[in-house]
Amino acid sequence: MTALVHYEMTDDHITIITLNRPEAANAMSKQLLAELDECVHNINQDNEIRCVIITAAGEKAFCAGADLKERKGMNDRQTIEAVRYIGDTVTAVEQIKIPVIAAINGAAFGGGLELALACDIRIASGNAKMGLTETSLAIIPGAGGTQRLTRLIGVGQAKRLIFTAKPILAKEALDIGLVEQISPADKLRENTLELAKQIAQNGPIALRQAKTAINLGLQTDLATGLNIEHLCYRETIPTSDRSEGLAAFKEKRKAVYAGK
């Protein structure tokens, strides 16, 4: 059986996950979700990985969301379970402890956009379209879209996109903060890898603690968030990486971090 998710590790401590159902717009079938879950598990077990890129095969689609053909034969209970499975997988991606970049190479609708929202940074090709289109099918986003989109771009813009179910182009997505960068389609992999390399060269423990501080702090008040930041900062102090960073700065050389 053909793998629906490709897993590739570079020499720069970067892992590239590629959704591989281009003939089905990389829709989230049960098999694809299971393989993506396995990738997430492998990442969480490998301390050599310092940054993750999630992208997709082909030039037309990043991910069209749920596999509606697969869902046709499901009853209500099975449909609810299928949506929960997507949501759990998306949350697992969000909970990866190291930075995750979504390289949105084409259309990202429904669950596909919800997957991108679970990533830390989003880079879109100039021809990408994206949207939470569920209300046009008389349902709502069920894999975190109503929550993560609102936290990312604000209440008003999130409601506009969800209520209208209207996809937007990459330029508008950049304008409203849905993506952080736009890249020409033929340069998307190169530009995403460049960003990932810039991230991966920094202290691995610091990257994990920074992500923890940001994500947990967003869910609480400022005073509690500042305390979370302090606790995460303290985790970096006794590390050998911190000593290496100070020594490299003093000696005017590039630091070589070991993640210890």
Residue positions annotated with a catalytic role: 66, 111, 114, 134
Q: Which amino acid, residue 36? A: L
Alpha carbons 105 and 1: distance in angstroms, whole number: 25
Output the CA–CA distances (angstroms, integers) from residue 51 to 87, 89, 100, in the order listed: 22, 18, 6
SS3 140: coil
Alpha carbons 99 and 204: distance in angstroms, whole number: 10
Q: Which of 185, 108, 179 is nearest to 143 (CA)?
A: 108
Angle at which helices 145-153 and 155-164 pack, to 10 degrees?
140
Which tokens sit at 16? 């590239």
